[in-house]
A and B are shown apart, each in its own frame.
Chain A
Amino acid sequence: MIKVENLIKNFGPKIAVNDVSFSVERGEVLGFLGPNGAGKSTTMRMVTGFIPPTAGRISVGGHDILTNPIPAKRLIGYLPENAPSYADMTVQGFLRFTAEMRGITGDARKRAVNRAVELCMLENVLYQTIDTLSKGYRHRTCLAQSIIHDPDILIMDEPTDGLDPNQKHEVRNLIKRMGTNKAVIFSTHILEEVDAACSRVIIIDRGRIVANGTPDELRRRSHLAGAVSVVVSGVTAAELSEALSSIDLVVRVDTLSETPQQSVVRAHPDSPDQKPALVRAVMELVSQRHWQLEDLRTEEGHFDEVFRSITLPDTIKEARQ
């Protein structure tokens, strides 16, 4: 549905987006991750046709966004950053307006507004003017606007920004549901969100795509992925480490903590795939030595760690320069 090729955007001498290519199909939820100022919003603004790219091609549902913007924009529902809306309108008036702007009139408009209001839980504030609403409601009003025409493509810039945990949860579920029959792109810097809602993740850093894959694939890039931590009582950490090192699969052992009562040690396998084998080997070792096993934890790998290892070196370099 969305195909972006070699997208470049310069603001004066500053390169905001540098040679970005990706595509999103129906049924996919693409998460855009990246530090602040990485080019996420700029990329989305170009895909929605708000700002023209310096170079590159964007095709939305087969329509080029530059040469044929109107049919392309019809397919898109867009939630801009900070969820802007007309403060002097009522929620209902605003939603009616956006429905009408998309050519939905009469009974169809009524149904569309009701549906969006229900999905975004706005029943209580329907007749209030938007400037009297709390941030969460304002945000959801703009979200309702983006889905009013049941678009094939949904593009959302930080859709859960400013919501409370319950609302965040609802919005993530909404995104997931939408993702079953639409092409969805959303940006965030909340890493759990990616796990909760995305089928694919792109990490952008300083205008470039630095990682692209499923959440699982990216997590496996974490050095923790596949590691096994064991808590054993009555054994020193040194003894435990030495024993774990003797397992063939283990490439590294870290001591996490040691008290007179118990030791916590983490063993890393060569590859995350070896995790089940490593668990079996550790269990065998413990029972051979008749140690008292208190706990055993396996690691899937952490997103934030992968995120930091990919984007942090650059950020630090930049700060030093």
Chain B
Amino acid sequence: MSGGVITIVKRELAGYFVSPVAYVFLVIFLLLTGFFTFTVGNFFERGEASLVSFFTWHPWLYLFLVPAVGMRLWSEERRLGTLELLLTLPIATWQAIVGKFVASWLFLALALALTFPVIITVNWLGDPDNGVIASGYVGSVLLAGAYLAVSCMTSAMTRNQVISFILSVLILLFLILCGYNPVTDLLSQWASPQVVQVVASFSVMTHFDAFQRGIVDVRDVVFFASVIGLALFTTGVIIRGLRAG
């Protein structure tokens, strides 16, 4: 049953590393996280032993980097016609969806794991709370997973990777902005606080916040899991629609 999923995960992961694209992505990812943490985030000027300036940029950084990883997942299968091959193999559609998603998620987790020098740096310079850092990483992985699931969904909608990328960025931007402070402040000028709260509760920002402060709240985990579940389920519906014609 799960043999098919593992085989797909292996193939997809190997697929990232046969071309230089994966390495280019990793380098860009690490350069950008470094740039945002140290230059834009004023890591040194803050004078505190924490990774706040590191994690705080992740929702924005992922906004472009995660769709870049996820955009080809299904659109490429559609363009090459391999979708027909894949879905006539003796596996269920959900196995293919989960396999592809997990492979890309692992790739993103690897990219994130390669940011470990920042942990060493902060531990060498001061005495940070490593529990908070760990929780930040957990949150960041979940955030990447939620973004990726959305990209997976938009990727199934089209055979064009560029369209998939743009759609994905638009949806993710919405998920960020509905909980982004400047936007919620604007919203609260004419909507009741309850409405603002409901809107904000749909945002990844609201749920990522607690992880950065070292709190792993079940509700936040459930939120990210639901986004992943819903987006992958929708992917399944889209693919079934494609096949039904």
Contacts and interface: CB of A to CB of B under 8 A. Distances in A.
Interface of A: 9, 11, 45, 48-52, 69-71, 73-74, 76, 78, 80-82, 84-89, 93, 97-98, 100-103, 129, 142, 145
Interface of B: 3-4, 7-8, 11, 14-15, 18-19, 80-82, 84-85, 87-92, 243-245
A263 to B, nearest CB: 55
Given A51-B245, A84-B80, A93-B14, A98 B87 contact: no
A80 B243 contact: no
B88 A76 contact: yes
Of B8, B14, B88, B243, chain A has the most CB atoms within 10 Å of the CB of B88
Contact of B244 (A52, A85, A100): A52
B89 A85 contact: no
18 contacts: A9-B245, A50-B84, A51-B243, A70-B90, A70-B92, A76-B88, A80-B81, A84-B80, A84-B81, A86-B15, A88-B18, A93-B14, A97-B7, A98-B85, A100-B3, A101-B8, A103-B3, A142-B85
Contacts of A85: 80, 82, 85
Contact of A82 (B11, B81, B90, B243): B81
Contacts of A100: 3, 7
B88 A101 contact: no
Nearest to A100: B7
B244 A51 contact: yes
A69 B89 CA distance: 10
Contact of B90 (A51, A73, A81, A86): A73
Nearest to A149: B90
Nearest to B7: A100
Leading 7 A-B pairs by shortest Cβ distance: A84-B81, A73-B90, A74-B90, A80-B84, A100-B7, A48-B88, A84-B82
Contacts of B84: 45, 50, 80, 84
A129 B14 CA distance: 13
A111 B191 CA distance: 68
A129 B243 CA distance: 29
A200 B204 CA distance: 61
